Structure 1
Amino acid sequence: MDILQTIVFKVATKYSLITAFVVVGGLTWISYFASKHLTKGRMHGSAIAIILGLVLAYVGGTMTGGKNGIADIAFFSGMAFMGGSMLRDFCIIATAFGIKLEELKKAGLAGTLALVISTFMSFFIGAGVSYAFGYTDSVSMSTIGAGAVTFIVGPVTGTALGATSEVIALSIAAGVVKSIAVMLLTPFLAKRFGLTTPAAATVYGGLMGTTSGVSAGLAATDAKLVPYGAMVATFYTGFGCLVCPSVCYFILQAIVG
């Protein structure tokens, strides 16, 4: 038995990326099974999968004392590459290919305004919350405010402004909380918000901004709407990375010093 375990461990660590795909595939199957049979579809499988992923990241970090979550365990080291920026960006680009331009154009000015207004609103709400909890310098407030935009914009802004690792971690946490909230609430509020057309999904993606949250939420509502919400949400992230460490930071610095 020990020999078999050794062989399995060596193969799994040598072909770590394949192991990562197998593990994620298994978790995804479990998540969608739980969604169908335990929640009767009220909680989308992707939402459960993300929660399980966060739990595994916490367990991995706790067991090893490392900084890469579950990837710090040798058996799961392929997770670091699978969850890296290259495959993430590939998924975002692949999603965009599902869009029909004529439907995207219907959102027009409304989609653009939603993106701009929501970016600034999320930033300053997040900055205000950080101030209330004692982070009163402009760098920390900007970093946490940017995290409220998305969990990608937060660390980008924090790195650009020289924020501490603690503040950058808080910005990521703020973005993750927002992502999960959007993911879970979207299916319940979709009809009330009139979220039934590609144009509405485009505006919604601009308002919410979190690509993972919007994509999962719309998938639980109507899978055909996912590319439209995800496309503008992706623009939202890029726009946030541009304005949060520059325009938003300078405005905030002028206010708080």
Structure 2
Amino acid sequence: MDYISTILVKNGLIVAFLAVGIIIYFSHWFSNSILKNKIPGTAMAIFIGLILSYIGGKITGGNKGIADIKQFTGFELMGGHMFRDFAIVSTAIGVNFAIIKKTGLAGFVAVTIGVFIPFFTGAAIAVFMGYHDAISITTIGAGACSFIVGPVTGTAIGASSDVLAISIASGVVKSIVVTICTPLVAKYIGLNNPQTAMIYGGLMGTTSGTAAGLAATDPKLVPYGAMTATFHTGWGCLLCPSVLYIFIKFIFP
């Protein structure tokens, strides 16, 4: 057992990819065979990942989830900024820029609305939760945009660790909801072509949730929705700690 443990530790990244592959395979099999595609396999895989992360943190008392278990330290690298950014950038492969130009103003409006509506919704929830300082309200509101915008904003304006955790949690919940609901509502909102996929990605944000939901709807739409969802993240990281923070600070001095 010590020999096996040593191999797992020395090949951490390979073990992480293998584990994720097994989880995804099982999730899609369960979704197709048992649930008849009513819940996308990708959504199930994300949910299983969250459970494993919780278990890892509980067992070790650490703060890195499953990566706190030494045999699975490869998840820290796999789930880190480098691979995340690489995955986001890679979604641009296969995009037809002529179609992007056609979306034009509608895409920009969608991205802007997609930042403002969740931000103010999250801000209202923060106030309802008892937060009345501009930093906390802004950070939680930014988290409602995505689990990347939240911590970026909170770090920039000096939010506490518990508020940062809430912002990340709200973004993760949004990602899961978008993943599950996208294929369920696709046919009702005309989500069947690149233009609507781009508008949808701009409105929803959360690149991971949009990409997973579109993958369950039509894989060909993923690059378009993921691209505007990525713009949404960048736009949120720009607006939330600056213009929107100043606005919230004016209301809650």
Q: TM-score, normalised by structure 1?
A: 0.97
The yes-or-no answer on 1:42 pairing with 2:32 is no
- Provide the C-alpha distance between the structure 1 equivalents of 2:37 and 2:157, rounded to a whole number of angstroms: 43
CA drift at 1:162: 0.9
One-letter amino acid of the counterpart of residue 174, structure 1: S
Other-structure match for 1:101: 97
Other-structure match for 1:143: 139
- Provide the C-alpha distance between the structure 2 equivalents of 1:42 and 1:218, rounded to a whole number of angstroms: 14
CA drift at 1:240: 0.7
Other-structure match for 1:242: 238
Other-structure match for 2:69: 73
Other-structure match for 1:28: 24
- Provide the C-alpha distance between the structure 1 equivalents of 2:160 and 2:194, rounded to a whole number of angstroms: 40
Aligned residues between the structures: 253
Other-structure match for 2:129: 133
- Provide the C-alpha distance between the structure 2 equivalents of 1:89 and 1:133, rounded to a whole number of angstroms: 32
How big is each residue's C-alpha offset from its partner over 1:188-211, in whole Å with a ceiling of 9 and x where there is no partner? Answer: 111111111100000000000111
Q: Out of 84, 109, 113, which is 1:113 matched to?
A: 109
Which stretches in structure 2 are left out of the alignment for 5+ residues?
none
Aligned-pair Cα RMSD in Å:
0.8
Other-structure match for 2:174: 178
- Provide the C-alpha distance between the structure 1 equivalents of 2:168 and 2:13, rounded to a whole number of angstroms: 25
- Provide the C-alpha distance between the structure 2 equivalents of 1:70 and 1:204, rounded to a whole number of angstroms: 32
Secondary structure in structure 1 of the residue aligned to 2:130: coil
Secondary structure in structure 2 of the residue aligned to 1:40: coil
Secondary structure in structure 2 of the residue aligned to 1:191: helix
- Provide the C-alpha distance between the structure 2 equivalents of 1:154 and 1:178, rounded to a whole number of angstroms: 12
- Provide the C-alpha distance between the structure 2 equivalents of 1:69 and 1:142, rounded to a whole number of angstroms: 26
- Provide the C-alpha distance between the structure 2 equivalents of 1:150 and 1:217, rounded to a whole number of angstroms: 15
5 Å matches for 1:165-244? Answer: 165-244=161-240
Other-structure match for 1:160: 156
CA drift at 1:48: 0.7
- Provide the C-alpha distance between the structure 2 equivalents of 1:26 and 1:97, rounded to a whole number of angstroms: 25
CA drift at 1:171: 0.2
Q: Which segment drifts farther, 25-34 or 66-75?
A: 25-34
- Provide the C-alpha distance between the structure 2 equivalents of 1:89 and 1:132, rounded to a whole number of angstroms: 34
CA drift at 1:241: 0.7
Secondary structure in structure 2 of the residue aligned to 1:190: helix
- Provide the C-alpha distance between the structure 2 equivalents of 1:12 and 1:176, rounded to a whole number of angstroms: 29
One-letter amino acid of the counterpart of residue 162, structure 1: G
One-letter amino acid of the counterpart of residue 121, structure 1: I
How big is each residue's C-alpha offset from its partner over 1:48-87, in whole Å with a ceiling of 9 and x where there is no partner? Answer: 1100000000000111110000000001000000000101
- Provide the C-alpha distance between the structure 2 equivalents of 1:243 and 1:32, rounded to a whole number of angstroms: 37
CA drift at 1:121: 1.6
How big is each residue's C-alpha offset from its partner over 1:126-156, in whole Å with a ceiling of 9 and x where there is no partner? Answer: 0011001101110000000000000000011
Find runs of 4+ consecutive structure 1 residues off by over 2 angstroms.
none
- Provide the C-alpha distance between the structure 1 equivalents of 2:57 and 2:48, rounded to a whole number of angstroms: 14
CA drift at 1:106: 1.9
5 Å matches for 1:83-102? Answer: 83-102=79-98
Secondary structure in structure 1 of the residue aligned to 2:188: coil
CA drift at 1:22: 1.0
Q: TM-score, normalised by structure 2?
A: 0.98
CA drift at 1:239: 0.9
